[in-house]
Structure 1
Amino acid sequence: MTEKLIYGIQQIGIGVENADKAFKWYAKTLGADALIFDDNNEATYMAKYMGGKSRKKRALLALNMQGGGGYEIWQYTNRKPSKPKNPFKLGDLGIQFSIIKTKNISKTFDRLKQLNENIISKISTEPDNGKSFYLKDPFDNILKIKEFNSFYDNKKLDVGGIYGTSIGVSNIETSLKLYKDILGYDKIEFDKTGVFEDLKTLNNGDKKFRRILLSHSEKRVGGFAKLFGDSQIELIQSLENTPDKIFEDRYWGDLGYIHLCFDIRNMDTLKNECEQKGVPFQVISSESFDMGEANGHWGYIEDFDGTLIEFIETHKVPLIKKLGININLKNRNPKKPLPNWMIKGMNLKRVKKFN
């Protein structure tokens, strides 16, 4: 079976100065306390995005087991990561913010307010009638918290994981060749042009933009699709100013959102399609690459504005290291979802105590 399958958004990469501090915040504040891997291998394949040579790094994958994508918290261990050249403004080219799902927008807003988190907007209504607000993490990254009704497991916490992202692009029509045609976000939730009330508290948010919110008409199937859940991608095009590139003259792994990652099956099929449609793979790993205790096959493309999109074909996820118990996906029916008991077994990776 060689059909390309996209199981969902696995994670968004975030470059930080202190991985332990970042993991603790995302775990305690946003419930992403399942530490799937903690990888200290040297980054070699991505040398072209790191000044032409391999770099020592630490990467942690943190998931919220209520469902949604996770956070790959990424830290250089042999150099100080650089900040963006210019302050972020809405419409800049790259990942603007991750979108986190909540069951109850008012409850989440009040909880974060009580924690004295850096809430930077009131609750607003978006063009799809969804309610959202914006938050800054302690590392200067913007997150959108938005009501969404797709959760894998209903635990007590009000928020789940990542169910989408907003990406600044120079031309939406061109960008749709990737996000719609290749990645399958073929359903338009809205396509609006104007000045938007829900964006006004963001830097440059009082300007005119075209925004298009995309979802997928086909249900994701197989593997971890039930855990990752439905997802959306919002493309934002600036119409009144020339946007900056968020990662211009910086390395992959520097501070901020460094990539968007999809969990997939049949890398070769996807690779061929990307080449045919003008977004060839820039980096691809060996067919069985260790990511800490996990294992898989991964590669990167750039969207039409240089934003890095990662694809991972997951082969193995460890559950109980001491007993050698793993989730092995390589020889499974790719369209058959993992059983609930196996996914819930990942709760064993949750970190309960912090220093």
Structure 2
Amino acid sequence: MRSENSELDPPGSGRLAHAPVDHPAVPRKKVGVLLANLGTPDATDYWSMRRYLSEFLSDKRVVDYSAWLWQPLLQLVILTRRPFKSGEAYRGIWNTEKDESPLLTTTRDQTRKIAEGLHEAYGDDVVVDFCMRYGNPSTDSVLRRMQAQGCEKILFFPLYPQYAGPTTATANDQVFRTLMTLKWQPSLRTVPAYFEHPDYLEALSNSVREAYSAAESTPDVLVASYHGVPKRYLMEGDPYHCQCQKTTRLLKERLGWRDEEIVTTFQSKFGPEEWVGPATVDHVAELARQGKKHIAVVSPAFSSDCVETLEEINEEIKDSFEAAGGETFTYIPCLNDRDDHIAALLTIIRNELGGWL
């Protein structure tokens, strides 16, 4: 029986058996899995931060104000000051050994483990790589590299458990922009939100149980802190807020807890309009004033620890709790490259690859 790549002569040569000698080389057909995360600056200096923030805050999915109003404010006011503050935040969490952000380090580790798992099942028929929506490695460069490696079918996986326009949708937008420029487009599938997948919830609940077991005292409340969005997005049909609420409910049920033992909050408010709430930074202070001396915080919307968790939660939000009288603050790390998290992602990937392999 001839394999799908048997038209190459000899196999693996890249030369089609019945093509003229000057025909461009054709790589062996493969299936690609492209993981996508939010992004990272290349460094923490002013200009690196400015380039990254300009790309991020110029995205209409993130800030959807009219360009004529927003861009002058962004370029002439916000980006003259914000890169200094953001650079300082990144320097506090920077992976100095590898000279990169923790998000980049973790996403690479996740990709390596997923590649190993898929290689065990499918051998060299699958190529696994990762990209960033903002910064490097860019979606465009990685998608083109995968196509050059023979990936005629690509599964695109934005690593966001809950769907949101400023995360999942903009990641998909970016990969489609590259497809629009290609002479030969690979077939593409996108992975949907997986916030209610039982394996994801099991990994999330395992991380909470382990943190509670390791704590010297049992936290009074678990704060499930999600990245915020303007309330207008909810009213316009974005399902993110509802999916976050459901994630918390499903986590509570899996843990077997009472309603008062876990609360949903939102962080990282930006700009003047009303955002979904309650705001994490304010609510943890209120918990302290209510007499809650020990709280734990988990971030179910982030697949990898990043500046919003390592700096904002573990520093700014922690400070707010302690300033209001709180005593013990336990941050539960993101799922990162935990084995149960990788196993959950592999299960989702294998399901989405159905019919291709």
Please report the TM-score for the alignment, with normalisation by the length of structure 1: 0.26
**Rg larger for:** 2
- Which one has more relative contact order, counting CA pairs under 8 Å at least 6 apart? 1
Please report the TM-score for the alignment, with normalisation by the length of structure 2: 0.26
Which structure carries more helix by proportion? Answer: 2
Which structure carries more strand by proportion? Answer: 1
